[in-house]
Amino acid sequence: MSVPGFFDEAADSSGRAREHYRTVQEWFDRLTPAQVSGLEEQRNESFRRQGITFTVYGGEEGTERTWPMDLFPRIIDASEWAVLERGLTQRITALNRFLDDIYAGEQAAVHEGIVPRRLITSSSGFEREAMNVSVPLGARCLVAGIDLVRGADGVYRVLEDNLRNPSGISYVIENRAAMTKLLPAVFSDMAVRSVDHYGRSLLRALRSVAPPACGDDPTVAVLTPGIFNSAYFEHAFLARSMGVELVEGRDLVVDDHVVAMRTTQGLERVDVIYRRIDDHFLDPVVFNPHSTLGVPGLMAATRAGTVTIANSVGNGVGDDKAVYAYVPELIRFYLGEEPIIPNADTYLLWEPDQRAEVLERLDELVVKPVAESGGYGIVIGPTATDAELAEAREKIVADPRNWIAQEVVGLSTLPAWAGDHFASRHIDLRPFVLCGEQAEVIPGGLTRVALREGSLIVNSSQGGGSKDTWVLGNPDPAAAPS
């Protein structure tokens, strides 16, 4: 069932189930297609009832769909996870050091020649309005989502960093909740590490970056653009799981550089804002003056140090895909360590030599815009039409700083239900890392799966689905559900 040339997560080269997949594989092997379809029906009904949906933009219809979770889980054994956990912690620690160096430090990485200055100044994510705004603990990226893929050699590589507003954690938790209901027998046979402590961990991380002057009991709020945002479900979910207020910009007011929210009991001071609004909509005084989603004066309050915004403004410079190419060097520079999880091989198109090579081999490479996420704007050489390649070439030549190219990474495969049988489909992994007083990697993360045969595009916005992701090991007592 494997796809030749790709790493099969569940089976070895002889087709035998890998040790950590054996229980699950045997369990699914015993089911008839009708039983699997029955489970799928239950799953759909449960998601529909809870309103767990997502919006697809740019298709023929801007549509709301039920969350497509495939039943066959992704499983990561304890020792493999331990390496990933260390590697992710290392990476986000270095990225936070970099962001704080750029915005609130001496820009040592520039002065020491690790990155060229123009890499920063030409990044659309470099936000000059955040300059010299300090953040408690230097935790500028409090919630990171780091996308990993596993190539034919079985090596995990980082495909991109998401340091602004990574979404998807609510699906991780909802997937688990659904799976424990659908497959209770499997869970009782295996030690799967819990994920439902996320709300408590997030709240702890947010409170740890409260302004020092605000006392022992800081007030946290989640700032959403509103119900029409595609991730509104997640914003509401997170506020609920932390037990904090979900607010929109119009619910907040800045008075004498202090932020307060309007409540039924009057104004209540807010100390930490977990914002899920993009930088440019946060404060019409300094950003888009026509934005009604934000809060006038919020940036000044942040600068005054009376409130902390998480994630910090300007993190886009850290997940710029041209900066990504330098992350291994940044890890060596800030931490004096060798990177534990390597990058995918990447070409910087503003370097004339690299650009020339890429333009020669455009049909073999993946080309990505540096500041986008969610799979938008990506051109996959081997499957692109001549017209698409010509267009990509034109765009690269016109604005080389805006593009990178990468070798195609063969995404690993797992069985996924294809209507009447299980078939191999490509997957990636977005683990979530919280960085408060110390980094905490949520066991597993969001495994995304390309549900169409042969497709390498896993983004839910592009027709991808997800899988529950199980990390095996003794459940962490601190993370046990309450």
Partner 1 sequence: MRLDICYRTKFVFDAPARESQNELRACPASDGRQRLLGYRVLVEPSARMLSFTDYWGTRVDQFGVTDSHAELEVTAEASVETQDPPSFSREAPRRSLADPDFLDRHQEYLNPTRHTSWDEAMAAEARDLTGPDAHDAVGTAMHIADHVADRLSYQPGTTEIGQPITAILANGTGVCQDYAHLAVAMCRSVGMPARYVSGYLFSSSDRTGSIEGDLVRVQTHAWFEAAVPGQGWLALDPTNRLAVGRQHVKIGHGRDYGDVPPLRGVYSGPGVPRLEAAVEIRRMDPTRQPPAPMRPSLLAAVRAPRTRDQQQQQQQ
Q: Are 156 and 7 in contact (CB under 8 A)?
A: no
- Rule CB under 8 A: is residue 253 a binding residue for partner 1? yes
Tokens read off for 211:
């302004």
Taking alpha carbons only, the member of 402, 405, 343, 399 closest to residue 379 is 405
- Applying CB under 8 A, which of residues 51, 59, 62, 116 lies at the interface with partner 1? 116
Q: Return the H-helix or E-strand segment holding 387.
A: helix 386-398
Pick the closer one to partner 1 by CB: 152 or 300.
300
Shortest distance, CB of residue 222 to partner 1, whole angstroms?
23
Q: Which is nearer to partner 1, 63 or 121 (CB)?
A: 121
> Contact region for partner 1 (CB under 8 A) — 11-19, 84-92, 280-288, 353-361?
280-288
Secondary structure of residue 330 in the 3-state scheme: helix
Q: Rule CB under 8 A: is residue 121 a binding residue for partner 1?
A: yes
Q: Closest separation between CB of residue 400 and partner 1, Å? A: 13
Helix (H) or strand (E) holding 396: helix 386-398
Residue 255 binds partner 1 (CB under 8 A): yes
Q: Are 358 and 349 in contact (CB under 8 A)?
A: yes
Closest to partner 1 by CB, 262 or 361: 262
Does position 129 interact with partner 1 (CB under 8 A)? The reply is yes
Indicate which single residue of 157, 257, 269, 393 sits in contact with partner 1 (rule: CB under 8 A).
257
| Tokens 């040790």 found at | 19
Q: Judged by CB under 8 A, does residue 304 bind partner 1?
A: yes
Distance CA 471, CA 77 (A): 6
Indicate whether 128 belongs to the interface with partner 1 (CB under 8 A): yes
Half-sphere exposure of 113 toward its Cβ, with a 13 Å CA cutoff?
0
Interaction between residue 284 and partner 1 (CB under 8 A):
yes
Q: Identify whether the C-beta of residue 224 lies closer than 8 Å to the C-beta of residue 273.
A: no
Quote the least distance from Cβ 387 to partner 1, whole Å.
26
What is d(CA 273, CA 220) in angstroms, rounded to the nearest whole number?
6
CB atoms under 10 Å from CB of 267, counted, come to: 14
Name the residue with tokens 């540096």. Answer: 370
Among residues 228, 193, 194, 223, the alpha carbon closest in space to that of 206 is found at: 223
Reduced to 3 states (helix: H, G, I; strand: E, B; else coil), residue 334 is helix
**122 makes contact with partner 1 (CB under 8 A):** yes
Vertex 318 angle, CA 201 and 91, to 5°: 55
Convert residues 314-343 into a mask of x (bound to partner 1 by CB under 8 A) and - (unbound).
------------------------------
Q: Least CB distance from residue 162 to partner 1, whole Å?
A: 25
Provide the mask over 69-98, with x wherever binding to partner 1 is found by CB under 8 A and - wherever it is not. Answer: ------------------------------
Contact with partner 1 (CB under 8 A): which of 22, 48, 111, 117? 117
When binding is defined by CB under 8 A, the residue of 199, 297, 339, 381 that contacts partner 1 is: 297
**In the complex, least distance from residue 292 CB atom to partner 1, rounded to whole angstroms:** 10
* Closest by CA position to 348, among listed 322, 310, 378: 322
What token pair was written down for 358?
A: 């890429």
Closest CB 319 distance from partner 1, rounded Å = 20
Cβ closer to partner 1: 304 or 423? 304
Pairing mode of beta strands 464-471, 69-76: parallel
Per-residue exposure over 326-339, b if at least 16 CB sit within 10 Å of its own CB, e if not: bbbebbebbeeeeb
Stretch that binds partner 1, among 79-87, 220-228, 229-237, 297-305 (CB under 8 A): 297-305
Minimum distance from residue 225 beta carbon to partner 1 (Å): 18
Q: Which stretch binds partner 1 (CB under 8 A): 110-118, 202-210, 216-224, 473-481?
A: 110-118
Three-class secondary structure of residue 240 per DSSP:
helix
From the number of C-beta atoms within 10 Å of its C-beta (0-12, 13-18, 19+), residue 58 rates as: exposed
Question: Does 254 sit near partner 1 (CB under 8 A)?
Answer: yes
Closest approach, Cβ 300 to partner 1, in A, equals 4
Interface with partner 1 by CB under 8 A: which range of 55-63, 89-97, 127-135, 157-165?
Answer: 127-135
- Enclosing H/E stretch for 110: helix 108-111
Smallest separation (angstroms) from partner 1 to the CB of 336: 26
Burial level of 290, CB count in 10 A (0-12/13-18/19+)? exposed
Kindly state the smallest distance separating residue 307's Cβ from partner 1, in Å.
13
Does 300 sit near partner 1 (CB under 8 A)?
Answer: yes
Residues interacting with partner 1, by CB under 8 A? 116-118, 121-122, 128-129, 131-132, 253-257, 284-286, 289, 296-297, 300, 303-304
